[in-house]
Amino acid sequence: MRRTSLLCLSLIALLFAGTAAAQPGPPPPPDPAVRAAVRQKVRILRNARLIEVLELDEPAALKLFPVLNKYDDQLGVIAAENGSARRELRRLHKEGKLDDAAANRITDMIVAIRARIHKLEDERLVALRKVVKPTQLARLMVVLPEVDHAIERAIRKTLRKEHGPGRGGPGRRGPGHGAQGEGFDLDEAP
């Protein structure tokens, strides 16, 4: 497990290597090809962790991961839309240009996006029920968010090291909120 944790942290660091140029403002986005490669490697790491936690054999894994990947891809597109809407809302607020019409328009977009996310998550659950045992599905429902959050925390931590603290930087939630997740410690070396 330590080896996969170190691999994930290394891959994330590679994604953002060299983007810490001394320019004000947010760093430039990484090359889309690099992002896709890192996304695939993180997916592999997550799958390895799920195989371990769910005690999947090869046939079960071959059924599970295509379903997860399908819905992850769809959720990723929607999450990008959500991020764009929230950035627009934040920008308008910061510039003092947020009026009632813009606030309503963006709020409606975010609410609609949330509904689409919930719908896709429900569809994913129905699809997963067809490919794993009930006990595996129950464990997946507990573990998948934990693993995903641990990966997100590791990415944020790596970004803070590369680019310094920003929104939600160190100290926001106090000590003890590092890149650790249940059984997924990215800070430990092999």
Question: In this predicted model, which residue has the larger pLDDT, 30 or 70?
Answer: 70
pTM: 0.66
Residue 39's pLDDT band (cuts 50, 70, 90): confident
Decide: helix, strand or coil at residue 184.
strand
Mean of per-residue pLDDT scores for the chain:
77
> In the prediction, which pLDDT does 164 show?
63
Distance CA 50, CA 147 (A): 8
Residues 6+ apart with CB under 8 A from 35: 15, 29
Give per-residue pLDDT as tens, 122-175.
Answer: 999 999 999 999 999 999 999 999 988 888 887 777 767 766 665 544 444 444
Distance CA 128, CA 160 (A): 35
Q: What residues does each domain of the chain span? A: 1-17+29-56+148-190, 60-131
Contact 190, 2 (CB under 8 A): yes
**154-188: buried (b, 16+ CB within 10 Å) or exposed (e) per residue?**
bbbbbbeebeeeeeeeeeeeeeeeebbbeebbbee
The number of beta carbons lying within 10 Å of the beta carbon of residue 140 is: 20
Query: Averaged over 51-68, what is the pLDDT?
Result: 92
